[in-house]
Amino acid sequence: MTDKKKTKTLDQLSMLVDTGNFSEVEKCVFELMHYLQLKKELTEKFKSLFYDIKDLYEGKYPGYRSCDTEYHDFRHIMDVLIASLRLTDAVKLSDEFISDSGVFVIGAAALFHDTGYIPEIDDPVQCGAEYTSCHVERSISFVKRYMEMKGYPRLMITQVSQVILSTELKVDLNRVDFVTEETRRLALILGAGDLLGQMADRIYLEKLLFLYREFKAGKIPGFDSEEQMLRKTVDFYKSMEQRLEKDLENVDKLMIIHFRERHGINSNLYHTGMLHNINYLNYILENHSGSHRDYLRRDGLVSKLI
C-alpha cells in the first residue's frame, strides 16, 4: 500500500538522494541497477567503469588532470546517470524491452558523456572549459580508447558512442545511422536524462553562473554577462521543452512510472524541479535584475565566485 504521508511530503529529488553526497549516490546507483536486474557479470563491469570515472574526475586516473569545470563536474555526471537509470527503469516498467547490454550501454554512456572536458596532463590548455565546443567529440574518443583497452566488443563501443551523441544539441538524431533500434531508443533516454538531471537539480540556477565562466573560457559567443546567461536560460528552457517533446519523443513523460512504482510518488519529480527552477529564475529576473547573486544562495556556491 502506498504511504499517503510519504506521497504528500516527498516532493523534491534531493530528498531521495543528495547527488553531492557520494555515499548516497553510490547507494542509489546500485539500487537502480538492482531494479534494472543487470546480470552479475555486467554489474561488475559497470562498477569498474563507475569507480574509474570517479577517479578520472578526482585526478587519479593515469595521464589526466582532475576535473576543473564547475558546472560539468562529477555531480553533474551523477545527476545525469541517476536520471537516465531512473528513466530506463520507467521504460522497462512500461513493458518496453531493454536488453541487459542496453542497460549497461545507457549507464556507460551517462558516465562517459562529458569526459571530453577533462584535459590530459600535457594538453596545451589552461582549463577543461576550453574544450566546450568539442567536448562531445572528445568524450567519444575517450570512451572508444577506454573500452577498446578493456576489451569490450566493437558493437557495444559503437552503441555507447552513438548514445553519447544525444547529448550534443547540434546533432540531428534522425540523421544518425544507429546500429540497432534499441541504440536509438537508448539515445533518446540519455538525451532526456541529460536535460532532466541538470535542469531539475536544486542548485541548477547557482551552477549557471559557473556555466557562464565555462562559456567564457570556451569562447562561446553571445554570453557577455551572468545576467545574460540567466536570461538566455529562459529561452533555453522553452527550446528544451520542445526538444523533449519532438526530438526525444516525450520519453521523459514515462519517468512518473518509476516514481510511482519505486517510491509511491504519483508525480514526475524532474518536471516539478525544472518548473520550480524556471519559475524562481523568472522571479529573480523580473524583480531583482542586477542583483541575482543575492537570491542564489544554495550550498554557498555563489560565494566561491570572485
10-residue mean pLDDT profile of the chain (306 residues): values are 42 91 98 97 98 98 98 98 98 98 98 98 98 98 98 98 98 97 98 98 98 98 97 98 98 98 96 97 97 96 89
Torsion angle of alpha carbons 190, 259, 79, 146, nearest 10°? Answer: -50
pLDDT of residue 10: 56
Q: Are 169 and 257 in contact (CB under 8 A)?
A: no
pLDDT in tens, 227-259: 999 999 999 999 999 999 999 999 999 999 999
Q: What is residue 200's DSSP assignment? A: T
Q: Tell me which fold the domain 17-304 belongs to.
A: Catalytic domain of cyclic nucleotide phosphodiesterase 4b2b (1.10.1300)
Task: Residue 216: name the closest of 56, 70, 64, 79 by CA.
Answer: 70
pLDDT of residue 12: 86
Task: Residue 147: name the closest of 53, 58, 55, 30 by CA.
Answer: 53
Distances 56 to 51, 60, 67, 112, 140 between C-alpha atoms, Å: 9, 6, 8, 10, 15
Three-state DSSP at 218 gives coil
| CA–CA dist 46, 103 (Å, integer) | 10
pLDDT in tens, 264-292: 999 999 999 999 999 999 999 999 999 99
pLDDT of residue 6: 42
Task: Residue 159: name the closest of 183, 189, 192 by CA.
Answer: 183
| CA–CA dist 159, 166 (Å, integer) | 12
Report angle CA 123, 124, 127 to the nearest 5 degrees. Answer: 80
Domain boundaries, the chain: 17-304
- For residue 147, the one-letter residue type is M
Three-state DSSP at 115 gives helix
